């Protein structure tokens, strides 16, 4: 895999740098490949990751902001006793007769309002509903707001969430977030490997300046953030468009899909299906008896009641607590008799279904509440700093050449076959299951080969030791001697094929995608 740009010469005589020694084991030739991949990925996804990190930070903060901005609708004065849920829904329908009742969430706390969600309201479509907030003690309607998603996001959090997911561009916009998630774990994992591959003395921050100090700061933060960023990448892919579909198919093949209750009259009952004909929530025995039947099965607050979608289905009552400990039990209730006809317990979920649930909830900041949100904000801020430091390192090295001084081409041919073959096979498999990763990687290689061939034909750049007919490669250490950090030159002479200095102007751009460095190292 040829993933290295080339090195310009200044026309003056330069000593030739020797090829990497083939007998130095698998790491020496692999390191330039990881670095180069790190660089290209950073160049591609840095802007997307910056948007994702910024909106992710705002999304994590929006949970607490929502409680302040919408406190009137969300909270109520504590009264003596709550009214039957049927009376609360009737009050909501009187104030808002438009649309149909899609779901009801009874007040889960003493000071919390009841939410009656209406679908089919003019101006509100898709998975959005109009949430009518009702005082459970007086049945007074306290307001109505547009709501989105199973976490009950209100307008502020909804706007940030959708911008984070798709730039407010709909399904096509989701490609941006999937591309970023597809590469984030590669950048973070590769940067982590590169960082720990450095000599301990090269990781020092104190007493350094310029590019090396920026690298040290980038590395220190990147090492701490790497595992969290890899986690966010993996969990983000689970509900992406293409990789998410492949993950879903794999779970189905392994019989690890999330189970759902079957409605009393038969057939799967959608958790957010359309409301019943006539627009009301009362079918058969009514909401009060349905809720009582669910309580008898051990379903404590918070719960959501979904009325029958049609005459052939029944009520579904589900726990909707996604904070720890997770409560996701569900029951189906026959509207004619009020009897429970089917039950699904979260404890009986397959392992992968549980892990997916917990992963998504941690990713969205609801699994561990405020602590979860603070960790997400810290990771988002860390990613923003890594990107900015990466570009700063690229800029600091930029005076040597417009695109830095990368490693020579042909390094992949130094990788032993017993390492290269499994590596390429694994890359192909990953490219299949994570399509945007595979397609963009193929594009990287194609463009790099094309640019390299053009540059070679012009005789202005180098191909390294594996192309004997190419022009001689100038010594990177000599080129870097005029940099602000002469220590890099000395260190690079000791690395495989003088990679350290040749990498110097590249890693910063890689860091711009969440990890990388101007000295060809990375912290993520």
- CATH number, domain with residue 80: 3.10.450
Q: Report whether pLDDT(78) > 80.
A: yes
Distance between CA atoms of 377 and 370, rounded to whole angstroms?
A: 10
Q: What is the pLDDT of residues 333-352, one digit of tens each?
A: 999 999 999 999 999 999 99
Same domain? For 381 and 505 the reply is: yes
Confidence class for position 173, pLDDT limits 50, 70, 90: very high
- pLDDT of res. 429: 93
CA atoms within 13 A on the CB side of 442: 10
Percent share of the chain, pLDDT over 90: 57
Same domain? For 312 and 459 the reply is: no
Q: Where is pLDDT greater, at 105 or 505? A: 105
- pLDDT of res. 201: 46
Same domain? For 496 and 405 the reply is: yes
Q: Report whether pLDDT(392) > 90.
A: no
Q: What is the pLDDT of residues 471-492, one digit of tens each?
A: 444 333 333 333 333 333 333 3
- pLDDT of res. 51: 96
Q: Where is pLDDT greater, at 507 or 249? A: 249
Distance between CA atoms of 422 and 434, rounded to whole angstroms?
A: 18
Same domain? For 342 and 214 the reply is: no
Distance between CA atoms of 192 and 342, rounded to whole angstroms?
A: 48
Percent share of the chain, pLDDT over 70: 74
Q: Is 7 part of a structural domain of the chain?
A: no
Q: Among 24-38, 357-371, 445-459, 475-489, which stretch is predicted with the lowest mean pLDDT?
A: 475-489
Give the mean model confidence (pLDDT) for residues 118-144: 96
Give the mean model confidence (pLDDT) for residues 98-124: 96
User: Average pLDDT, whole number, for the chain?
Assistant: 80
Same domain? For 134 and 266 the reply is: no
Q: Among 66-70, 325-329, 397-401, 429-433, which stretch is predicted with the lowest mean pLDDT?
A: 397-401
Confidence class for position 39, pLDDT limits 50, 70, 90: confident
- pLDDT of res. 155: 98
Confidence class for position 506, pLDDT limits 50, 70, 90: very low
Q: Is 519 part of a structural domain of the chain?
A: no
- pLDDT of res. 24: 47
Same domain? For 400 and 471 the reply is: yes
Same domain? For 431 and 507 the reply is: yes
Distance between CA atoms of 101 and 85, rounded to whole angstroms?
A: 13
Residue 105's domain comprises 75-155
Q: Among 142-151, 259-268, 510-519, which stretch is predicted with the lowest mean pLDDT?
A: 510-519
> Which residue, 307, 324, 350, sits at the end of a domain?
350
Same domain? For 481 and 345 the reply is: no
Distance between CA atoms of 145 and 80, rounded to whole angstroms?
A: 27
- Hey, how many other C-beta atoms are within 10 angstroms of the C-beta on 14? 16
How many domains is the chain partitioned into structurally? 3
Q: Is 150 part of a structural domain of the chain?
A: yes
- pLDDT of res. 348: 97
CA-nearest of 33, 31, 17 to 480 is: 17
7-21, 186-200, 276-290, 453-467 — most confident range = 186-200
- pLDDT of res. 428: 94
- pLDDT of res. 493: 34
Beta bridge partners of 330: 318, 344
CA-nearest of 130, 48, 59, 137 to 97 is: 130
> Which residue, 350, 383, 403, sits at the end of a domain?
350
pTM confidence score: 0.79
Q: Is 137 part of a structural domain of the chain?
A: yes
CB 92 within 8 A of CB 132: yes
Give the mean model confidence (pLDDT) for residues 103-115: 98
Same domain? For 27 and 123 the reply is: no
Same domain? For 50 and 184 the reply is: yes
Environment class of 177 (CB within 10 Å of its CB; exposed 0-12, middle 13-18, buried 19+): buried
> Which residue, 282, 317, 350, sits at the end of a domain?
350
Q: Is 68 part of a structural domain of the chain?
A: no
Q: Report whether pLDDT(499) > 50.
A: no
Q: Is 318 part of a structural domain of the chain?
A: yes
Confidence class for position 45, pLDDT limits 50, 70, 90: confident
Q: Is 440 part of a structural domain of the chain?
A: yes
Residue 259: alpha-carbon gap to chain centroid: 24
Same domain? For 221 and 314 the reply is: no
Q: Report whether pLDDT(457) > 70.
A: yes
Can the peptide bond before residue 325 be classed as cis, meaning omega within 30 degrees of 0?
yes
Q: Is 387 part of a structural domain of the chain?
A: yes
Distance between CA atoms of 521 and 364, rounded to whole angstroms?
A: 31
Same domain? For 177 and 323 the reply is: no
Environment class of 200 (CB within 10 Å of its CB; exposed 0-12, middle 13-18, buried 19+): exposed
Q: Report whether pLDDT(219) > 90.
A: no
CA atoms within 13 A on the CB side of 261: 26
Q: Report whether pLDDT(298) > 70.
A: yes
Beta bridge partners of 318: 304, 330
- pLDDT of res. 505: 35
Confidence class for position 458, pLDDT limits 50, 70, 90: confident
């Amino acid at each position: 895999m040829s993933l290295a740009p080339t090195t310009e010469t200044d026309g003056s005589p330069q000593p030739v740098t020797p090829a990497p020694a083939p007998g130095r084991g698998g790491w020496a030739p692999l390191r330039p490949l990881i670095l180069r991949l790190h660089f290209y990925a950073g160049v591609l996804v840095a802007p997307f990751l910056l948007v994702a990190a910024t909106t992710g930070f705002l999304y994590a903060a929006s949970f607490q902001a929502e409680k302040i901005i919408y406190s009137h609708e969300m909270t109520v004065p504590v009264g003596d006793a709550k009214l039957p849920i049927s009376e609360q829904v009737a009050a909501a329908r009187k104030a808002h007769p438009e649309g149909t009742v899609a779901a009801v969430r009874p007040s889960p706390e003493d000071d919390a309002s009841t939410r009656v969600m209406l679908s089919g309201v003019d101006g509100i479509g898709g998975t959005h509903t109009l949430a009518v907030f009702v005082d459970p003690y007086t049945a007074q309607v306290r307001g109505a707001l547009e709501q989105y998603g199973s976490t009950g996001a209100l307008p502020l959090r909804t706007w940030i969430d959708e911008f984070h997911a798709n730039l407010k561009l709909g399904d096509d916009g989701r490609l941006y977030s999937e591309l970023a998630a597809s590469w984030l774990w590669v950048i973070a994992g590769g940067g982590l490997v590169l960082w720990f591959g450095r000599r301990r003395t090269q990781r020092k921050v104190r007493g350094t300046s310029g590019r090396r100090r920026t690298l040290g700061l980038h590395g220190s933060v990147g090492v701490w953030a790497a595992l969290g960023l890899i986690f966010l990448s993996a969990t983000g892919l689970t509900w992406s468009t293409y990789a998410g579909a492949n993950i879903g198919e794999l779970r189905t093949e392994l019989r690890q899909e999330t189970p759902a209750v079957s409605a009393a009259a038969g057939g799967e009952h959608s958790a957010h299906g359309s409301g019943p004909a006539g627009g009301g929530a009362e079918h058969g025995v009514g909401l009060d008896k349905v809720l009582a039947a669910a309580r008898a099965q051990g379903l404590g607050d918070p719960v959501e009641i979904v009325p029958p979608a049609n005459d052939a289905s029944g009520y579904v009552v589900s726990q909707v607590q996604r904070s720890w400990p997770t409560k996701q039990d569900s029951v189906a209730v026959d509207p004619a008799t009020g009897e429970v006809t089917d039950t699904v317990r979260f404890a009986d979920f397959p392992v992968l279904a549980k892990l997916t649930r917990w992963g998504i909830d941690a990713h969205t900041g609801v699994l561990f509440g405020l602590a979860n949100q603070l960790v997400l904000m810290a990771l988002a801020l860390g990613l923003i700093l890594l990107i900015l430091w990466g570009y700063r390192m690229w800029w600091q090295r930029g005076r040597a050449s417009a695109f830095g001084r990368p490693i020579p081409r042909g390094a992949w041919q130094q990788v032993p076959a017993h390492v290269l073959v499994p590596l390429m096979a694994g890359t192909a498999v990953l490219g299949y299951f994570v399509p945007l990763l595979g397609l963009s990687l193929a594009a990287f290689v194609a463009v790099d080969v094309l640019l390299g061939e053009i540059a070679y034909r012009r005789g202005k750049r180098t191909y390294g030791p594996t192309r004997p007919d190419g022009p001689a490669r100038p010594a990177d250490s000599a080129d870097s001697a005029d940099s602000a950090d002469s220590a890099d030159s000395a260190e690079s002479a000791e690395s495989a094929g003088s990679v350290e200095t040749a990498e110097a102007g590249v890693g910063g751009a890689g860091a711009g995608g969440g990890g990388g460095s101007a000295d060809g190292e990375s912290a993520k």
